[in-house]
Amino acid sequence: MSQHYAVIIVGGGIVGATAACALAQAGIDVALIDARNPERQWPAKPVDIRVSALTRASQNILQAVGVWPAMQQRGVGAYEHMHVWDAQSSGVLHFDAAETEFPVLGHIVENRVTVASLWDKLETLPAASLICPSTVADLEINSEQAVVHLDNGQALTAELVIAADGRDSALRTMVGIQTAGWEYKQSGLVATVSTEKSHRQTAWQHFLPEGPLAFLPLVNGQCSIVWTLSIARAQHYVNLAEEAFLQELEQALESKLGQVLTVGPRAAFALRFQYAKQYTHERFVLIGDAAHAMHPLAGQGANAGLLDAAAIAELIIKADRLGRPIGSHKLLRRYERWRKGDNLAMMSSMDVINKMYAQQNDVFRQLRGTGMSLINHSGWLKNYFNHYAMGLRDDLPAMASTVS
């Protein structure tokens, strides 16, 4: 006999686990399936090379599901400033939390910190079931229910299945939802570094001809780097001797933080612009990277996914309290209308910025420099971009707009 849940979520990363927490807190029976048990404890070093720049809206969501204090205890790196400059023009931008109503602009957080805190919380919620390590072998959907077949032969049923299983979502393929987009022919090189000078709670971003280089401040005083490069150069830098790589990195940041002293493990991942042509199917919905993948230059991927999680959870909770079906076409279409436009706008903005800074001709250089100078000297424009970057825009899910 199969086990029945109101909702089954596949993918226990930041986005899927957040959706599970929100639903289980509201008393909705939810099963979270993941292929592995995430780590909950780790040595102080090295820092996880996978980090996210979490916005104020994301902080609000994580506060609402009750995990932000645990994340703070494990370690979150606040940043109060953001300094951006263009290698090929005079363009400079500086954002300061003092120009907003908030003490910080955002936080740089190791992904494992967020995931471990969410899973710890889920274990305390009676309505949540953690099924791992386990993978989905097959998915059947009909007008009555969804049936999830696991690799161990077990079958689970639900009114709704939420796919949060990443950019190469297996469940998205199972239901036949197609994607559109393109490869950037770029890779993002990530690593953790130590620098001679303090990062001063500042996120640094230098737009170089091949792509932006970001130094993101960590709570332990180190920086997490995300460097957009051609695929070949990224692989070359991954394999380059440490001393030579440190010299290249220091030069690329124009020694803003003095010498780059050490670097931990390096990795590179291919960058892609990708969106699902539809977010929903019968009794099925996509959230996070399964629905959209964008350029990491502004670190908005995880934040967009958290807004997806908060939106679908809000709609499900409201429907459940009103006694309405949570897997209805009407509810799922409402979610898609709510989130798809905002996601595409963010993705397109990142794409335009990436392409604009890749242009080498003098006209584009002058336009970039003039535009950055205009924003930097306009209080109204800086305030607008500050709030947009912090995720504080119109039509937010209730959890995201709550002031914590």
| DSSP string for 354-372 | HHHHH--SHHHHHHHHHHH
The H or E element containing residue 77 is strand 77-79
Q: Which amino acid is at 142?
A: N
DSSP symbol at 201: T
Task: Give residue 404's pLDDT.
Answer: 44
Q: What share of the chain is helix, strand, coil (3-state, %, to 5)?
A: 40, 30, 30
Domains assigned to the chain: 3-75+108-181+273-356 (3.50.50.60)
The values of phi and psi at residue 329, to 5°, are: -60, -40
Task: Give residue 1's pLDDT.
Answer: 60
Q: Which amino acid is at 132?
A: C
Whether the Cβ atoms of residue 7 and residue 25 lie closer than 8 Å to each other: no
Name 50's Cβ contacts closer than 8 Å, sequence gap at least 6.
110, 111, 112, 190
SS3 state of residue 380: helix
pLDDT tens for 79-133 read: 999 999 988 888 888 989 988 888 999 999 999 999 999 999 999 999 999 999 9
The values of phi and psi at residue 327, to 5°, are: -105, 20
With CA atoms as reference, report the closest residue to 34 among 142, 115, 141, 126.
115
Sign of the Cα pseudo-torsion (312, 317, 322, 328, in order): positive
Q: What angle do CA 178, 336, 65 make, to 5 degrees?
A: 115
> How, if at all, do strands 81-86 and 136-141 pair?
unpaired
**Which stretches of the chain score pLDDT less than 50?**
404
DSSP symbol at 26: T
Task: Give residue 377's pLDDT.
Answer: 79
